[in-house]
Amino acid sequence: MDKQVVSFNLNGEAVRVRCDPFSSLLSLLRDRLGLLGTKAGCGRGECGACTVLLDGLAVNACLVPAGKAEGLNVETIENLSRGGSLHPIQEAFVEKGAVQCGFCTPGMVMSAHALLKSDPAPGREEIRKAISGNLCRCSGYVQIEEAIAAAADKLKD
């Protein structure tokens, strides 16, 4: 496929990249732009490790064609701890023991981020639904759910 210029806003900065618009946003982020925080676990939209925010919505970057980002805001895990301090969601993940191997964590944090943007006080069922597209094999999700509930409390303050 012919390459095209794709322009979008990445973590608050304007970027212009020449790429195959049908290649995945995930490979654009990881292989071209060096943002390795977004993980790749299956390449089929089944594990959620590559979750990023596209105009505030959680999406699987492996399923989004790079060209789809044109003119939109893309937010990755790297944006959450800019300036060196942890985002309240990240703090809560650490404090609640929600991080084991950590491979699902960036995607899980981004799904939580999207949820708390749209629903600042989610119940346990909303939390479960919001992360149901993010597979974690280590944790049984319990401490992740506790962390997201705690993060909601932190963000309220």
Partner 1 sequence: MIRRNIKAGEGKEGFPGARGFYDPEVWAKVTGRARYGIDLALPGMLQGKILRSPHPHALIRNVDLSRARSLPGVRAVLSGTGLGAKPYGIVFDDENPLALDRVRYIGDEVAAVAAVDEQTALEALQMISVEYEPLSAVFDPEEALLKGAVTLHDDFPGNIAWENRINRGEAEAAFKDADLVVEDTYALPSFHPGYIEPISCIAESEKFDGLTLHTALQSPHIVREILAGVLGLSISRVRVISPVMGGGFGGRVYGNLKLYLLAAFLSRAAGAPVKMQLTREEEFTVGRPMVAAMIKMKMALKEDGTFLARQADIITDNGAYSAQAPWVSKTLSERNDSLYHIPSISTRVRLVYTNKVPTGQYRAYGNQLANFACESLIDRAAGKLGMDPLRLRLKNCIGPGDTSVHGLQIKSCALSRCLQDAADAIGWTERKKGRGYGISAAIHAGGSIVFNPDFRGASARARLELDGRVTIVTGEQDYGQGAHGAFALIAARALSRVPGEINIVSRDTILTPFSIGALGMRQTTIGGRAVQLAAEDLLARIRDCAAELAGEEVVPEGGAFRTSSGRLIEPVGIAAFYCAKTSGLALTGEGRYVPEKSDYDQSGYGNIAVTYSFAAHACEVEIDRETGALTVHRFVAVHDSGRIVNLLTARGQVYGGVAQGLGMACSEGYIFEEGRVANPTFSGYRIPTALDLPSIETLFIQTDDPEGPYGAKGLGEIVQVPTPAAVANAVANALGEPVNELPLTAEKISRLLHGWECAD
Q: How far apart are CA 105 and CA 14, in angstroms?
A: 26
Minimum distance of partner 1 from residue 153's CB (angstroms): 16
Pick between residue 68 and residue 143 the one whose CB is nearest to partner 1: 143
Should residue 32 be labelled a site residue for partner 1 when binding is judged by CB under 8 A?
Answer: no
Should residue 24 be labelled a site residue for partner 1 when binding is judged by CB under 8 A?
Answer: no
Three-class HEC string of 35-65: CCCCCCCCCCCCCCCCEEEECCEEEECCCCE
First to last CA, the chain: 49
Tokens 């703090």 locate to: 91
Among 42, 55, 121, 153, which residue sits at the site for partner 1 (rule: CB under 8 A)? 42
Q: How far apart are CA 134 and CA 61, in angstroms?
A: 13
Which runs of E-coded beta strand occur in 61-108?
Answer: 73-75
**Which residues in 47-106 contact partner 1 (CB under 8 A)?**
47, 49, 76-78, 80-81, 86, 90, 93-97, 99-106
Should residue 128 be labelled a site residue for partner 1 when binding is judged by CB under 8 A?
Answer: yes
26, 50 Cβ separation under 8 angstroms: yes
Pick between residue 24 and residue 134 the one whose CB is nearest to partner 1: 134
Minimum distance of partner 1 from residue 84's CB (angstroms): 9
Amino acid letter for position 110: M
Should residue 10 be labelled a site residue for partner 1 when binding is judged by CB under 8 A?
Answer: no
Residues lying near partner 1 in the complex (CB under 8 A) are found at: 36-44, 46-47, 49, 76-78, 80-81, 86, 90, 93-97, 99-106, 109, 127-129, 131-145
